[in-house]
Amino acid sequence: MAIYESEHTKFMREWLAKHPQEIDEQRKGRALWWDKPQDVVSQARLDQSKVPVKAYYYDINH
């Protein structure tokens, strides 16, 4: 454990200890916004369709 713990971290740790049902809500929110299933075929198609960007976008000579 770290030597320093911020006031916010202490508050959240105590609050979650008093409200354990919120841990499930956190997991649901994370699954909704962040934990998405990965599709390898679609990702490969997106990677292949990328167009290279010039080093200097406004250079008309290259």
> pLDDT tens digit string along 2-54?
689 999 999 999 999 999 999 999 999 888 888 888 889 999 999 999 988 87
Q: How many CB atoms lie within 10 A of CB 35?
A: 8
Look up tokens 């499930």; give the residue.
24
According to the model, what pLDDT value does residue 62 have?
61
Spatial neighbors of 56 by CB under 8 A, at least 6 apart, are: 62
Q: How far apart are CA 27 and CA 8, in angstroms?
A: 20
Q: How far apart are CA 14 and CA 50, in angstroms?
A: 47
Q: The tokens of 20 are what?
A: 């354990």
According to the model, what pLDDT value does residue 7 have?
95
pTM over 0.75: no
CB-based contact 26:19 (threshold 8 Å): no
